[in-house]
Structure 1
Amino acid sequence: MRDFRDAKAMAQTLRDSLTTKAVTISHSESLELVSKMLGVADWNTLSALLHAERREPAPPIVKFKSSTAVYPAVPLRDFVPFPGATFPLFVGRENTVLALNHAFENEREMVCAIQRDSGVDEPRFADIYEVGVLVQLVELERLQDGSIRVLTRALRRVAMRSFAALSGGYRSEASELQESPPADAPDLMRRTILRFEDYAAAHGLLMPDIWLFFDQTRDIGRIADTMAMRMRLPVRDKYELLAILDPVKRLEKIDRLLDVPARPFGPAYDATRRRALVLAEQRRHQFATLEHLLLALTEDGDAAPVLQASNADLGLLRQNLTDYIDKELAHTVIETGTPVPTAAFLRVDRRAALLAQETGNPEVTGTNALVALFPETRSPAARMLADQGVSRFRVDKAIARSAGKEKG
């Protein structure tokens, strides 16, 4: 039985069969039809799969035949890729398009060079950083504006030995960089993973499926690169992470970047937070939950106006929260003791402190806490906000409008 590796033969068979029935199609049309028959979007994607399956013994120039090899190259203006990541590249510069075409004609590998200055249109060797990334081209799409979108997978770090624009586009001589052997640093890994989870939730970052298994792996380099790829940092700071070849030192630097100085609770939010604890204590609840906190935030001087500007019905929201707390949390009643904030409550506190630091607030406000609550998507509090159409997007817009009025 034929499979996708026989795609070209299948396309020819299809074309011949249709010809006998007085139906004429071009060779490229037959390739596209076979691609769809095999469940692949188009011929470019199927061709990439075919290419990945080949095991041809003759290595072209893009394979590491020695410590150094010549590659087609693409200069990146505002982006730093990390090994293991899959990402799109949008290509428009002529020399880059030529290099891209050359890469697709051969082994579909290129070097990504990171520009020092994004304003340079025709970079030379002096305009790029010393460390780049070898990437594999997976899928190509030509856009209506004449540019090209390329789905790309980063393979490994390389040292840039040269970079120049030639008649066939950008070329780079590069050599493979060997990372330091990974060391065992379980405490560092656990601490940084927890900090990054707060960071990702505060910024609404989507994490790959592999993240679910990071607490079971000891691949420090992979963990560090996954975090670095997603952190919102200037190009220079990201490049510094790319250039660190010791995985432990790379993760240590990420840990320091995530270890932002804790912002104190502002008087208003501190009062709101204590009101949430009182709401739990009055009902003799064992825990103070996000529902207690959100109920308190509906009366917070900073958060309540933002909720109203986001089209929340505060009266209905208070009623729904009160009903939930009184009925659904009745099983948490204890005879004696002080309510303890849940883990989700404490996560919101940490994210709120991080948001306050990044937005330049000297103290944590109720607005910070409101924004920090949205990542807790499984909580009834977040669902009640969603039921009223209150999303983080709407809240962010309301905050921006309020800030604009204050400046005006």
Structure 2
Amino acid sequence: MRDFRDAKAMAQTLRDALKAKSISVSHSESLELVAKTLGFHDWNVLSAAIQSSQPAAAKSPPALSFNGGTVIPVAPMRDIVFFPQLISPMFVGREKTRRAVESAAANDGRIVVITQRRAEDDDPDFDALYSVGVVADIMNRVELPNGNQKVRVSCGKRVAVVRPAEADFLAAEVVPLEEVRALDTQAFALTSEIFEAYRSSTNTVPPQSLYRYAGEPGVLADVVVQLLEIGVEKMQQALEIRDVVARLETILGWMRAGAPAKAS
């Protein structure tokens, strides 16, 4: 019997079966259907599970040095989505999150930052979090007069939760989500359209700080989306798009539909 590691073959079988009934679906749509049928949140998470299940000898060296079975502490965030390249403070008040930060700081300094689905949830479990976040390095911590901590982090790669780990705080096994089409010709063409859309929406010239990312379309997309007032759900949607061309097209669509950008 097939298991989740046969997902791509299952998706192709599904496409062929639907095509025989004159129902057309794309390969990506069939992958998403198979992921949900197998009980996974989406293809990103299923793909991460497949990668994690492969024998170590069959894997390519990961971009991040996640060792099999390593527990990565997780910090849930309310009303904010962290992106790669971002250096930002996060404010920690909940005891479980404080323990996660302390565990991370006592080890290699890495913590996974994931946004909550509902900001009002004071004690979220993994069902209450999105499945994709970023891995971040703790730069420093400061105790505030109100008893909370201000933790400055430097965000790295997108990661997907493969499975929760047992601890007295939120922790999980995660795998990196590598970008695709990051250097595609179409991605570079879309950067020019992003600059023009920014100019149209703000009636100002894009700040020089944006132009430094003209040669890195994926980074540009992540920086620009943080300048848009589009809400947490769309920000999370952008975070979960691994395909840089698709991410740029999505952000461009929001800008052209009237999503306000903050003028710098």
Gaps of 5+ in 2: 1-63
Shift of 1:123: 0.7
1:123-162 aligned at under 5 Å gives the runs 123-162=124-163
> 1: distance between equivalents of 2:210 and 2:85?
13
> 1: distance between equivalents of 2:165 and 2:125?
6
> 1: distance between equivalents of 2:248 and 2:192?
11
Amino acid at match of 2:239: L
- 1:226 matched to 2:227? The reply is no
TM-score by length of 2: 0.68
> 1: distance between equivalents of 2:173 and 2:202?
36
Change (3 A) 1:69 1:164: closer
What's the Cα RMSD here?
2.7
Change (3 A) 1:211 1:243: same
Shift of 1:191: 1.1
1:385-404 aligned at under 5 Å gives the runs none
Shift of 1:151: 1.1
Amino acid at match of 2:194: T
Hey, which of these two has a bigger chunk of helix by percent?
Answer: 1
CA contact (8 A) 1:131 1:160 kept: yes
Amino acid at match of 1:84: Q
Counterpart of 1:250 in structure 2 is 247
Change (3 A) 1:161 1:194: same
What whole-Å deviation, never above 9, does each CA across 1:179-231 have from its counterpart, x for those lacking one? 213211233210112222454677xxx96x6424234x1x2111101112222
> 2: distance between equivalents of 1:85 and 1:201?
26
Secondary structure at 2:170's aligned position in 1? strand
CA contact (8 A) 2:165 2:173 kept: no
Counterpart of 1:29 in structure 2 is none
TM-score by length of 1: 0.45
Amino acid at match of 1:239: Q
Counterpart of 1:308 in structure 2 is none
1:79-118 aligned at under 5 Å gives the runs 79-118=80-119
> 2: distance between equivalents of 1:198 and 1:137?
37
> 1: distance between equivalents of 2:164 and 2:197?
38
Hey, which of these two has a bigger chunk of strand by percent?
Answer: 2
Aligned length: 198
Counterpart of 2:213 in structure 1 is 214
CA contact (8 A) 2:81 2:115 kept: yes
What whole-Å deviation, never above 9, does each CA across 1:374-406 have from its counterpart, x for those lacking one? x79xxxxxxxxxxxxxxxxxxxxxxxxxxxxxx
Change (3 A) 1:198 1:146: farther
Among 236, 241, 252, which residue is 1:239 paired with? 236
> 1: distance between equivalents of 2:88 and 2:200?
23
Shift of 1:174: 1.0
> 2: distance between equivalents of 1:224 and 1:174?
23
1:330-369 aligned at under 5 Å gives the runs none
Gaps of 5+ in 1: 1-61, 262-353, 359-371, 377-408
What whole-Å deviation, never above 9, does each CA across 1:53-102 have from its counterpart, x for those lacking one? xxxxxxxxx94124x74201100111101101111100000000011111
Secondary structure at 1:166's aligned position in 2? coil
CA contact (8 A) 2:133 2:159 kept: yes
